[in-house]
Structure 1
Amino acid sequence: MYITLIILAITAILFATGKIRSDIVALCALITLMLIGVLTPEEALSGFSSTVVIMMTGLFVVGGAVLQTGLAKMISSRMMKLAKGNETRLFFMVMIVTAAIGAFVSNTGTVALMLPIIVSMAAEARLNASRLLMPLAFASSLGGMLTLIGTPPNLVIQDTLTAEGYEPLSFFAFMPVGLTVLVVGMAVLFPLSRLLLTGKKDKDGTKGARVKTLRELVKEYRLADNLARYAVTPASAMAGKTVAGLDIYNRYGLTVLEVRREQNSRKSLLKSVEQKLAAPSTVLREGDIIYVTGKKEAARKFAHDFKLANAATAGDAAGGSNALDFYDLGMAEIVILPASRLIDRQLREAALRAKYSINVIGIRRRGEYIMDNLAEAKLRSGDVLLVQGTWENIARLGNDEDRWVVLGQPLEEAAKVTLDYKAPLAAAIMLAMVAMMVFDFIPVAPVTAVMIAGVMMVLSGCFKNVESAYKTINWESIVLIAAMMPMSVALEKTGASALISHSMVSLFGSAGPLPLLAGIYITTSLLSLFISNTTTAVLMAPIALSSAVELGVSPYPMLFAVTLGASMCFASPFSTPPNALVMQAGRYSFMDYVRVGLPLQIAIGAVMMLVLPLLFPF
């Protein structure tokens, strides 16, 4: 028992110092417990097969799809409008909305759903996301106290009461307690988040160079001004012909940038979009959307001659730009170097389309922009070329660094592009998942609902590819939780948790009901730092009930102290899955949770010691 407690203490110290990654510390503690024989290999590895860990993994994928499809940005924009750009309103809106969802959905699910929305909202408001992510995690736990199903410890004390013949608690019996802790939580977190959760830097300690966004490039080069989109109609003579065969550049002075094929109707949830660079050999089909750039008069004549129709795209339906979308094709700037062999040669001689399958759609030279007759333009040292092509081909330009330098990281920019035409589908899958988790008449376990939603997000194309889905999973958080969960087994197996709980209750119980109430809350809070909140509630609930009976007082306030102590565990990143979910996204250290979470736990405990006897008299 004492060896287990020593290992636990060393682990806590290493977490607090932050000099070794938290998941490595947790794994070392787990391996040590196996080596000394406290845990069998099966017990030690049980955390990796836990439904909580599997659910967290699936929820990372669901949250990643919400972000990838732009659904998070849409929802965050609505919330930003309601907050009217006010940071204070934004904070309280996040807390209240998250708590309301957390009253009916598991706190893990609530955070996973809200996390990409909050990250997007913080970026739009130019706020540090760390100011909102920890309050988000805590609000999900606070909201769990509003209803009977909000958090597992609530159900644990309900079962303990009914098993002993006491009147069961109603669905909203927790509401007064939940509203009280929510008010206290907002009052404490608002100043603490402003004081202690600011100034987080990127992982490398710097903010990095500013790279223009794709939309900024579109605006800077005024691509929308000379861009036209036309659909190939059944009456058009263009279907079945190649781009080269039409000789559009020589006949009209227009450049065909891309050909887009959209399958299914505009309102279909299963819409798919395929973007292709307009290569000379590209064969056009009926229904294709052609993007051309050049003078508007020439574009109108071109459309009239070939009987083309003005076209709208998925980007418009999703509220995107009226210029270009970047699902498969992207843009980047390249700078011509002084030693480049391309200097004083015409752009057509560079043969960038033939060698790299890219288009040059603009040249920036000493503050001026060249957009017409690009093929005849002679290149000079320092010219900035705006190129368009597939993201992979743009990235390949970086291999010829003796000729030019690619500004930014194209593949990183590609990862930021949202598949906004998939947003309705992502929303439908997410709502179906929530419904399966909330409504009891749907015979699907929460972990099953999450797994179904995660797989559906991948199969329905809400990610560019399967690799993108895997990249959304924060493996450090997964390993941290999975490796720490068996710690509770070690504490129970060695009798350490039972010894601590009985000793604390015995110490406080002799002084009267109020000290006993405080002792139960403190003991439960301490255990919840190292044991899952459900396990802590299962361990403490019968002890609290028997102690209340022994003193001849009502067990209700004592059991509420158990569920509060188990659920209001904020002083550690691995106390609850929500705390772990936001750790990496907010770049928090172990001590951040102690500095913010511990004062919150103490404040809630102090207030509830006064409120619980009023709501549930001894």
Structure 2
Amino acid sequence: MSPIAITIILLLVALVLFGSEKLPVDIVGLILVIGLVVTGILTVNEGVSGFGDNIIITIGGLFVLTGGLIKTGIVDLIGRRLYKISGNNEFLLTALVMSVAAISASVLKNTTTTAMFVPVVLGLANRARVAPSKLMMPLAFGAILGGSCTLIGTSTNLAVSSALQRYNMPPFSMFELTPVGIFTVVFGMIYMLLVGRKMLPNIGGADESLTEQYHIREYVSELLVLRGSTLIGKTLGEANINLELDLNVLGIMRDGENRIAPRPDERIEAGDSLIVEGRLANILNVKGEAGLEIKYDFELNDRALEGDGIELFEVMVMRNSRLVGQNLKTLNFRRTYDLTVLAINRHGETFLEKISGVNLKFGDVLLVQGNRKTIEPFVVERDFLFLEDVSASSMRTAKRPWAIAAFALFLALSLSKIVIGVEVPLAIAVLLGVMLLLATKTVRYAELYSLIDLRLLVLIACMMS
């Protein structure tokens, strides 16, 4: 059998395996490479050559740069701004999602763009009362179209550019594909908005499993209005906390125990305690957004938040726990347990009391901060059921300038040949951006490799071989 026939047969087998989804895509890629080597189509060195290509480093680095944008809350901020502009207008929201996806994919890569915006778009669909499928498919299409605009927009462009060099031809420049790509994006969006949008399935709706899958649990927490906050002097209606911060204000505590109903015309004052309900990420993100701070039982600075061994956990109060029927104040929780409760989730129920005064019930989920070793004895004694380590949900809003600077550095170096006539390889440019993220602790070394989709890298390497 000729080498061409063997290659075609192996490719058809790979396509069937891809379509059946019985095996992970990276495993299928490895099987294809092994088949080509065993049949003599490729030598061993040729079979593994894709793993040593600089494209793998470039794509892996882009995953980390994207992780920096996610860790600092920039992606979540974009989502809130999109809803502020579009409101519940499905047509406008679809257009904005596709536009942002296309622009992001042109510089972030279409795969990473889709992955980082999936939770954001699910949240937008929930708030706008739109079926998730009506926005998820436009997100995917926008990312695919936008990826065609630049060299780094899609793995295919990078692979073709690398192949050109093997045949002694000049590689693509960063924006060589842009003129054609822009036309593709414009006409693709027009089609989707005028025709394709009407053909999208109406799947998802208020499916609770979607929110559970993406960890959207509602917490009630107490926020302190800091001096210098942009909210001081504004009414609740003017502050529009629900839209700006995606938090629902349940009540205001002022001058000790005085409870004020959250009327739209009630003005916010320095020192007010706002009882709010919202997602974990939004509660943890408040200080960087509007001069608010989670109200602790004791003063807690950023160093304490980032100290060695200090993490965020979700724990559930067990049926026979000594906590049942008592509140944090009577338990002297901080001193007794050496843990700090930041928020409480009571499924299907909200409350207007200060967090320290809430009588705990079986099934309450507490968002606590402390050392894992401190929690373990109480888990053993069945006071708590350990649910999850949610430390990664804490946004590093103070690091946003560094996340943006790292990406700007990468883009600037990738354009160096056009600007100053000196070419900096893309792999080196992206690695310098990653080094900046690590040096400033915008991305921590312990989480570095968790940001990289190794399955995709293996698949790309196999396909290049």
TM-score for the superposition, normalised by structure 2: 0.64
SS in 1 for 2:406: helix
Matched-pair contact (CA < 8 Å) for 1:98–1:110: no
The answer to whether the aligner puts 1:431 opposite 2:401 as a matched pair is no
Matched-pair contact (CA < 8 Å) for 1:95–1:139: no
**Aligned partners of 2:415, 2:82: CA distance in 1, in Å?**
24
In the other structure, the counterpart of 1:459 is: 439
The answer to whether the aligner puts 1:335 opposite 2:317 as a matched pair is yes
In the other structure, the counterpart of 2:11 is: 8
Tell me: CA distance 1:37–1:400, structure 2 relative to 1, closer, same or farther (3 Å). same
SS in 2 for 1:319: helix
AA partner of residue 79 (structure 2): S
In the other structure, the counterpart of 1:68 is: 71
* Higher alpha-carbon Rg: 1
- What is the CA-CA distance between 1:140 and the residue it aligns to? 2.1
The answer to whether the aligner puts 1:138 opposite 2:144 as a matched pair is yes
- What is the CA-CA distance between 1:30 and the residue it aligns to? 0.9
**Aligned partners of 2:460, 2:182: CA distance in 1, in Å?**
29
Residues 278-289 of structure 1 mapped to structure 2, 5 A cutoff: none
- What is the CA-CA distance between 1:101 and the residue it aligns to? 6.9
Matched-pair contact (CA < 8 Å) for 1:72–1:117: yes
In the other structure, the counterpart of 2:118 is: 119
Residues 248-287 of structure 1 mapped to structure 2, 5 A cutoff: none
Deviations 1:329-384 (A, max 9, x none): 647563241x345668897896754564213578899976764986xx9x786384
The answer to whether the aligner puts 1:358 opposite 2:339 as a matched pair is yes
- What is the CA-CA distance between 1:69 and the residue it aligns to? 0.5
In the other structure, the counterpart of 1:414 is: 391
AA partner of residue 334 (structure 1): M
Number of positions where the alignment pairs a residue of Structure 1 with one of Structure 2: 376
**Aligned partners of 1:341, 1:52: CA distance in 2, in Å?**
57
Tell me: CA distance 1:198–1:138, structure 2 relative to 1, closer, same or farther (3 Å). farther
- What is the CA-CA distance between 1:5 and the residue it aligns to? 1.4
AA partner of residue 323 (structure 1): E
**Aligned partners of 1:417, 1:206: CA distance in 2, in Å?**
21
Residues 25-104 of structure 1 mapped to structure 2, 5 A cutoff: 25-96=28-99
SS in 2 for 1:75: helix
**Aligned partners of 1:435, 1:144: CA distance in 2, in Å?**
14
Matched-pair contact (CA < 8 Å) for 2:314–2:388: yes
Matched-pair contact (CA < 8 Å) for 2:315–2:367: yes
Which one of the candidate residues 365, 369, 372 is aligned to 1:392?
372
Matched-pair contact (CA < 8 Å) for 1:332–1:394: no
Matched-pair contact (CA < 8 Å) for 2:29–2:462: yes
Tell me: CA distance 1:401–1:38, structure 2 relative to 1, closer, same or farther (3 Å). farther
Tell me: CA distance 1:352–1:387, structure 2 relative to 1, closer, same or farther (3 Å). farther
In the other structure, the counterpart of 2:220 is: 217
Matched-pair contact (CA < 8 Å) for 2:288–2:398: yes
Tell me: CA distance 1:217–1:192, structure 2 relative to 1, closer, same or farther (3 Å). same
Matched-pair contact (CA < 8 Å) for 2:324–2:362: no
**Aligned partners of 1:209, 1:118: CA distance in 2, in Å?**
15
Matched-pair contact (CA < 8 Å) for 2:211–2:217: no
Q: Unpaired segments of 5 or more residues in structure 1?
A: 164-170, 232-293, 299-308, 487-618
Tell me: CA distance 1:467–1:27, structure 2 relative to 1, closer, same or farther (3 Å). same
Tell me: CA distance 1:136–1:387, structure 2 relative to 1, closer, same or farther (3 Å). closer
Matched-pair contact (CA < 8 Å) for 1:96–1:139: no
**Aligned partners of 1:99, 1:206: CA distance in 2, in Å?**
24
TM-score for the superposition, normalised by structure 1: 0.50
**Aligned partners of 2:356, 2:75: CA distance in 1, in Å?**
41
**Aligned partners of 2:215, 2:104: CA distance in 1, in Å?**
37
Matched-pair contact (CA < 8 Å) for 1:60–1:112: no
- What is the CA-CA distance between 1:137 and the residue it aligns to? 3.1
- What is the CA-CA distance between 1:458 and the residue it aligns to? 2.1
- What is the CA-CA distance between 1:97 and the residue it aligns to? 5.2
Matched-pair contact (CA < 8 Å) for 2:318–2:382: no
**Aligned partners of 2:181, 2:202: CA distance in 1, in Å?**
28
**Aligned partners of 1:71, 1:208: CA distance in 2, in Å?**
23
Matched-pair contact (CA < 8 Å) for 2:119–2:214: no
- What is the CA-CA distance between 1:174 and the residue it aligns to? 7.8
In the other structure, the counterpart of 2:294 is: 324
**Aligned partners of 1:228, 1:80: CA distance in 2, in Å?**
25
Tell me: CA distance 1:317–1:88, structure 2 relative to 1, closer, same or farther (3 Å). same
**Aligned partners of 2:321, 2:395: CA distance in 1, in Å?**
35
What is the RMSD computed on CA atoms of the aligned residues? Answer: 4.8
- What is the CA-CA distance between 1:416 and the residue it aligns to? 1.9
Matched-pair contact (CA < 8 Å) for 1:357–1:389: no
Matched-pair contact (CA < 8 Å) for 1:130–1:198: no
Tell me: CA distance 1:391–1:70, structure 2 relative to 1, closer, same or farther (3 Å). farther
In the other structure, the counterpart of 2:239 is: none
- What is the CA-CA distance between 1:462 and the residue it aligns to? 1.2
Matched-pair contact (CA < 8 Å) for 1:14–1:20: yes
**Aligned partners of 1:468, 1:37: CA distance in 2, in Å?**
40
Matched-pair contact (CA < 8 Å) for 1:66–1:426: yes
Q: Unpaired segments of 5 or more residues in structure 2?
A: 126-131, 229-252, 258-269, 272-283, 296-301
SS in 2 for 1:318: helix
SS in 2 for 1:323: strand
**Aligned partners of 1:321, 1:345: CA distance in 2, in Å?**
32
Q: Which moved more, 1:135-144 or 1:29-38?
A: 135-144
AA partner of residue 429 (structure 1): A
**Aligned partners of 2:345, 2:75: CA distance in 1, in Å?**
34
Which one of the candidate residues 443, 450, 461 is aligned to 1:471?
450
- What is the CA-CA distance between 1:63 and the residue it aligns to? 0.6
SS in 1 for 2:446: helix
**Aligned partners of 2:161, 2:100: CA distance in 1, in Å?**
21
Matched-pair contact (CA < 8 Å) for 2:138–2:192: no
**Aligned partners of 1:173, 1:47: CA distance in 2, in Å?**
24
- What is the CA-CA distance between 1:156 and the residue it aligns to? 10
